[in-house]
Amino acid sequence: MDSSIKALIVKKFKDADLDLDVGRHFIDETVVVRISGTVERHEDQWILPTVSIPLIPTIAYFWERLGVDKDAAMGVLRDAIAEAMKARINESPSIKSKMDDVAEAVAAVKRDLIGELPKMRRAGRTDVGDLQVTVSELMPVSEPLYAVA
């Protein structure tokens, strides 16, 4: 079986539920796999490199340029996280307006900073929606099909 067929089977079943108890499980199965249908490979795309932006170094440079040292920044961040988790249920109008400001800043970063970065190639998606994969278990044969002389 070539690697493309194996990859298609994995892609087809990637979200399948796995009902196993905790622990090691011995598996010894022989199966027949029938694959039929169509697979569509889409064109590669050019996308903004958002996943290539290194988050930790970016924040470190951001703190440095703001003139904030590590301990002060961590203290402020810790307080902000705790406060945001408490206020999550009942957002006050003052924090709501600050959240709107942050959303606007994020949009500006995407538009003015990330939008200007060179685009990266992303492989086109592979659509296996029309692919049927049937797995049949083989039953062990209790008697040989022919005698060996």
pLDDT tens for each residue of 33-78: 888 999 899 999 888 777 677 888 888 888 888 888 888 888 888 9
Band of residue 147 on the pLDDT scale cut at 50, 70, 90: low
| Cα 90 from chain centroid (whole Å) | 30
Q: What is the pLDDT of residue 89?
A: 60
Asked if residue 28 is part of any domain, the answer here is no
DSSP 3-state of 133: strand
CA distance 143 to 148: 12
**Do residues 37 and 131 lie in contact, with contact meaning Cβ atoms separated by under 8 Å?**
yes
For the cut 80, the answer to whether the pLDDT of residue 136 exceeds it is yes
Asked if residue 55 is part of any domain, the answer here is yes
Q: What is the pLDDT of residue 141?
A: 66
Q: What is the pLDDT of residue 54?
A: 82
Q: What is the pLDDT of residue 144?
A: 66
Q: What is the pLDDT of residue 11?
A: 84
Average pLDDT score, the chain: 82
Asked if residue 142 is part of any domain, the answer here is no
Asked if residue 129 is part of any domain, the answer here is no
Find the domain containing 94 and state its range. 50-104
Percent share of the chain, pLDDT over 70:
90
Asked if residue 145 is part of any domain, the answer here is no
Provide the domain count of the chain. Answer: 1
